[in-house]
Structure 1
């Protein structure tokens, strides 16, 4: 399983939506339930965001490769989960 990082902000409505989509996908697809996501709140853990190139949240990195940035969609979030289990 590949390492997944999610850069987010607690006040971001798009981040909230991404979490809802993650929950929905994990309920529908048991194979995604084992994917662990390191959630990094960029305001509280700024040091963990150093070296990562992104402007918008939520942003997902799989093994340090950016796979999604900005407004989430089910397809984009599922692509992150699929990449994590490949």
Structure 2
């Protein structure tokens, strides 16, 4: 199982929706609960966010590799979590 970094902004409506979708996916698939997901708010933790190459949030890195950037659907987030499970 690979760790996931999720970059967000507190005021971003797409980020809030993405966080809700992650919780929904965990609820429906208990295996996803085993994935270590670290959420970085770029407004509160710019020293970490500045080390990564992205422009839009939410952005997901799996094991250090960017796998999704920008507004996401439930299917897109599921693909991120499935990638972490590989």
Q: TM-score, with normalisation over the residues of structure 2? A: 0.95
Which residue of structure 2 aligns with residue 57 of structure 1? Answer: 57
Q: Shift of the alpha carbon at 1:52?
A: 1.2
Q: TM-score, with normalisation over the residues of structure 1? A: 0.95
Q: Does residue 10 of structure 2 align to residue 10 of structure 1?
A: yes
SS in 2 for 1:47: helix
Runs of 4+ in 1 over 6 A off after TM superposition: none
Q: Deviations over 1:23-66 (max 9, x none)?
A: 11111111111112111010110011133111000000001111
Distance 1:7 1:56 in 2: 9
**Which structure 2 segments of 5+ residues have no match?**
none
Q: Number of matched residues?
A: 86
Distance 1:76 1:67 in 2: 10
C-alpha RMSD of the superposition = 0.8
